Amino acid sequence: MPRYVDTALRPGEKIIYNARVHWAIFISPILRFIVFGVALGAVFFFNLAQVLGAFVTDLAPKFLKDSGWWPGLVPEAIIVIVFVWVTFGRLIDALVYYFNSDFVITDRRVIAKFGLFSRSTSEQRLSKVESIQVYQSFLGRLLNFGSIQVTGTGSSETAFFFMIDPVGAKHALEEQLDRARGDSHES
């Protein structure tokens, strides 16, 4: 299946810069998984210690009737549901973004596409670009990823997050803008 960007190119239009999503998009879901997993493990271990202690001191039938073991696990079941929902939901969001997002600079425009089942696109002609903003956190600077936001005339804006080498993308866009504006000034 061809990418949206490839089908959106006009005859003779050339791709100058093709950005990719950085693997760091998976850091937050993985950290959530570790934190929730450790918390859930601690709660489970604490309950297991209580259950084993009750089992050793009481007979099994009394344990099942009087220890309150099952009602004690209801809050843990809720924690598990929230854990699965939050952690795997974020992981799925990251996977969809990672594999289904495009940011391309051509010799005529900037194109961004997001989405798997539904598609959201943003396209700006280079002649309408007014500003380019790059944001990199400390971790982003260490791992060379960040966000770029291209603002055009009016209220149009194209943003791309977790981009590999956003400064390189900014330089490529600025060079293309200089070429496009230089060509129009010479005419």
Tokens of 149: 């936001």
CATH of the domain at 174: 2.30.29.30
Does one domain contain both 178 and 109? Answer: yes
Structural domain including 129 reads: 4-21+103-186
Give the pLDDT confidence of 66-108 residue by residue, as tens digits.
Answer: 555 544 455 666 767 777 777 888 899 999 999 999 999 999 9
Does one domain contain both 17 and 31? Answer: no
Does one domain contain both 34 and 53? Answer: yes
* Cα–Cα dist 121/117, whole Å: 13
Angle of helix 27-57 relative to helix 89-99, nearest 10 degrees? 160
Residue 84: is it exposed, middle or buried by C-beta count within 10 angstroms (0-12/13-18/19+)?
Answer: exposed
**How many independent structural domains does the chain possess?**
2
* Cα–Cα dist 152/124, whole Å: 7
Domain boundary among 81, 96, 111: 96
Tokens of 106: 């051509």
When mean pLDDT is compared over 40-44, 70-74, 119-123, 183-187, the highest value belongs to 119-123
Does one domain contain both 51 and 12? Answer: no
Pairing type for strands 109-114 and 145-152 reads unpaired
* Cα–Cα dist 91/135, whole Å: 23
Does one domain contain both 88 and 123? Answer: no
Among the listed residues 124, 95, 117, the one whose alpha carbon sits nearest the alpha carbon of residue 8: 124
Does one domain contain both 113 and 153? Answer: yes
Domain boundary among 52, 74, 96: 96
Whether 163 shows a pLDDT value over 60: the answer reads yes
Give the pLDDT confidence of 6-60 residue by residue, as tens digits.
Answer: 888 999 999 999 999 999 999 999 888 888 777 777 767 666 555 555 544 444 4
Beta bridge partners of 120: 114
Does one domain contain both 153 and 92? Answer: no
Does one domain contain both 54 and 109? Answer: no
Does one domain contain both 49 and 91? Answer: yes
* Cα–Cα dist 37/21, whole Å: 27
